[in-house]
A and B are shown apart, each in its own frame.
Chain A
């Protein structure tokens, strides 16, 4: 079938502001939006610019706004979109470098700000630190994050207040706050109790809907908030 692909394009060397460009491509129902972007780039217009690498939803390169929702282009099929016309735009809320490529630096800076690494105070034992299956299960969900930014850039609180640390950083803090081997949960709770921390979350659930890894992000944020309350009490 023929698909009309409307892509929001911007080349800072040529354009004053973004503009829409429409391409028509031949596609099957199992094709993914990434396949369509490749068809355009390789058969019609080599200037179309986007990031991608793994092509199966694990590297986090190609999150973009597809038919109004943040998704990975490599993980959404044409038949799932149920439309002959597909719109594609860069992730909202981050500076556009060119076409579908946004500047991720601010996003990664927020990730780094929450101490996203294990901090165990005890001396490393000779063998592994023990952890029960139940202790491991508590933070399993948040270990799945691929830092694609689909969640943070779908969040109205982030759009309204770009200094908000955002769902992705909270997910990565959660992963360590709830790890039984870590001794510095309190430091992270202090960081996240800040003005730009968890309290900016309005439980709108956009992030959870956007996550291509199916992480229960809003729930993770709520678990962190209740920890902060306990911590402050």
Chain B
């Protein structure tokens, strides 16, 4: 039996929940589908803060925030979008406070603010206090607050429904078709729900699980990006993937930039604050791509601690009181996961795969677009880490992802409210679920074959080693070969659990498939971008090349299944590209 809602939101992180609130407020019949309980979404793991030029601590202006975002993104940012981000950051943060978010407070009772990497006063003069925060669990508070409001407004949730396919009408998404709903697998009992809809928002988060060392949850497997790609949509700027400088060694668990925002140092084996050689003005608060590269350089020069592959993050001089008040969670992680006492010992850290700047291309109304002319795909929307607006360009600044969720999650919801009026319900039936039903049955029925975990592990190794902080033509070519091999093997993947009840074995196998799509497009886009910009650092092309590459990449699935690349211009309004020094 087919169900229907006027609008569907896939994903219950910050982006999805805010969109759902807008739909509910407008009285649109809508629902949220999520493979995790909403409060388990990885937005809850965000730590440091959300930037908005409130000026509560010192002078600040949204124009400065806009500039920092563009420079931080190495000028690949669409400037109209950055302007929306910086302006609406202010109203959305205030709105969150009104919804009840318990921000830390200044002595006069306003929202407290602190420093964060790459955020500056007066177009780069020095660090500014712009990050609004709630201790070091800002994301937890955002997720809880938005979910609380959803409870208040009675938003309809399909909890633990894993979306396994998108429905289309009138052709594929990149060739004139419109989004028409989803097929979702109910995790509890394996039933497929076919839900048609006039508007579908993809807000499924990132895909950090394609790397060995990552700050991302197990569930971040690029589902939305992959499903859109399979249905003919291009994916944009996939070569830009951020490595956060300070992950717990081996595990990748994040230690927020908030630590450095509060004054923590980075030290090499000689006890030297090595950032003075890479970013003399901003030091530890330089943007993440630069700090991650600086760490790798130190390690290559033999200045890792004890010759090993890590350096120190040092918070000792901040004192117990500041550590307990401002950084309680991350110091707890250090105690639990490293067995180290941060009051008295420096913390071993290394870069960790963290954030996808690329994703589903959208315009500033969160409508998905399908070509270099930004043609809108009717009925399809994307917001949050899944989307590429592009406000982060080649490198995202800290705190700007949370801003992105708020600003473009809200915009997505509002746009869907407008668009569903006067639209017909797509004319799709249950039969639309047959292709994915067949895939799932084939997976269940396959006797012994490739183990999904082996494929995922090998993928994570090759992506980490060859598509990481630094890249070369040689490494990328070998990654391309490896990913192709893994794709072949994936055709024969088999699972142990053949049942219908809570079959995580089956869903994880599907997730590996999504990761392979994301990895394949990432590697192809990396190979083609013969320059270094933001997070994409080619050792064989160390300079930025604005003549040939001041342009967004679009990767589409070609008729033969191979990745086809196209490019589209960057929108430049106020700030002309300049060399990026800090």
A interface residues with partner B (beta carbon < 8 Å)? 11-14, 30, 41-43, 45-47, 49-61, 75, 77, 97-99, 101, 104, 108, 112, 115-120, 124, 126-133, 136, 139-140, 143-144, 146-147, 176, 179, 181-182
Instruction: Say whether A56 contacts B333, CB under 8 Å.
Output: yes
Residue ID in chain A nearest B40 by CB atoms: A59
Give 1 or 0 for each of B482-505: 1 = CB within 8 Å of chain A CB. Answer: 000000000000011101111111
Q: Give me 16 A-to-B residue pairs in the complex whose CB atoms sit less than 8 angstroms apart, sorted by A's number.
A: A13-B501, A42-B453, A45-B496, A55-B253, A56-B337, A58-B44, A58-B140, A59-B36, A59-B42, A75-B336, A98-B502, A130-B108, A133-B105, A144-B137, A147-B37, A182-B100
Instruction: Say whether A143 contacts B45, CB under 8 Å.
Output: no
Instruction: Say whether A53 contacts B97, CB under 8 Å.
Output: no
Residue ID in chain A nearest B96 by CB atoms: A128
Question: Taking the complex as formed, is B148 at the interface, i.e. its CB lies under 8 A from any CB of chain A?
Answer: yes
Question: Taking the complex as formed, is B149 at the interface, i.e. its CB lies under 8 A from any CB of chain A?
Answer: yes
Instruction: Say whether A59 contacts B149, CB under 8 Å.
Output: no
Instruction: Report the Cα distance A130→B502, complex, angstroms.
Output: 46
Neighbouring A residues of B151 by C-beta, 8 Å: 112, 116-117
Residue ID in chain B nearest A54 by CB atoms: B217
Specify which of A75, A101, A124, A179 is in contact with B102 (CB 8 Å cutoff): A179
Q: How far is the CB of B473 from chain A (nearest CB, A)?
A: 34
Question: Taking the complex as formed, is B516 at the interface, i.e. its CB lies under 8 A from any CB of chain A?
Answer: no
Instruction: Say whether A181 contacts B100, CB under 8 Å.
Output: yes
Specify which of B105, B253, B329 is in contact with A131 (CB 8 Å cutoff): B105
Q: How far is the CB of A34 from chain B (nearest CB, A)?
A: 10
Instruction: Say whether B36 contacts A61, CB under 8 Å.
Output: yes
Given A56-B253, A117-B148, A179-B100, A132:B39 Cβ within 8 A: no
Task: Please indicate which of the listed interface residues B94, B145, B218, B253 has the most CB atoms of chain A within 10 Å of its own CB.
Answer: B218
Residue ID in chain A nearest B108 by CB atoms: A130
Instruction: Say whether A53 contacts B217, CB under 8 Å.
Output: yes
Instruction: Report the Cα distance A54→B251, complex, angstroms.
Output: 12
Instruction: Say whether B497 contacts A117, CB under 8 Å.
Output: no
Instruction: Report the Cα distance A217→B550, complex, angstroms.
Output: 55
Residue ID in chain A nearest B37 by CB atoms: A104
B interface residues with partner A (beta carbon < 8 Å)? 36-37, 39-42, 44-45, 94, 97-100, 102-105, 107-111, 134, 137, 140-141, 144-145, 148-149, 151-152, 188, 217-219, 251, 253, 329, 333, 336-339, 451, 453, 495-497, 499-505
Instruction: Say whether A133 contacts B42, CB under 8 Å.
Output: no
Specify which of B45, B329, B339 is in contact with A30 (CB 8 Å cutoff): B339
Q: How far is the CB of A15 from chain B (nearest CB, A)?
A: 11
Specify which of A56, A101, A118 is in contact with B100 (CB 8 Å cutoff): A118
Instruction: Say whether B217 contacts A55, CB under 8 Å.
Output: yes
Instruction: Report the Cα distance A155→B565, complex, angstroms.
Output: 58
Residue ID in chain B nearest A176 by CB atoms: B100
Specify which of A12, A46, A117 is in contact with B495 (CB 8 Å cutoff): A46
Q: How far is the CB of A28 from chain B (nearest CB, A)?
A: 11
Residue ID in chain B nearest A43 by CB atoms: B453
Given A117-B149, A129-B97, A46:B497 Cβ within 8 A: yes
Q: How far is the CB of B32 from chain A (nearest CB, A)?
A: 14
Instruction: Say whether A136 contacts B217, CB under 8 Å.
Output: no
Neighbouring B residues of A136 by C-beta, 8 Å: 102, 104-105
Instruction: Say whether A12 contacts B102, CB under 8 Å.
Output: no
Q: How far is the CB of B101 from chain A (nearest CB, A)?
A: 9
**Other A-B pairs, 8, CB within 8 Å; known A59-B36, A101-B502:** A30-B339, A47-B499, A53-B42, A56-B253, A59-B45, A117-B151, A136-B102, A147-B39
Specify which of B40, B105, B453 is in contact with A61 (CB 8 Å cutoff): B40
Instruction: Say whether B109 contacts A117, CB under 8 Å.
Output: no
Neighbouring A residues of B97 by C-beta, 8 Å: 128-129
Instruction: Report the Cα distance A32→B491, complex, angstroms.
Output: 33
Neighbouring B residues of A75 by C-beta, 8 Å: 336
Q: How far is the CB of B181 from chain A (nearest CB, A)?
A: 25
Specify which of B45, B145, B149, B338 is in contact with A54 (CB 8 Å cutoff): B45
Neighbouring A residues of B338 by C-beta, 8 Å: 30
Instruction: Report the Cα distance A51→B462, complex, angstroms.
Output: 27
Given A75-B336, A116-B151, A118-B148, A133:B107 Cβ within 8 A: yes
Q: How far is the CB of A129 from chain B (nearest CB, A)?
A: 7
Instruction: Report the Cα distance A101→B187, complex, angstroms.
Output: 11
Neighbouring A residues of B504 by C-beta, 8 Å: 49-51
Instruction: Say whether A56 contacts B45, CB under 8 Å.
Output: yes
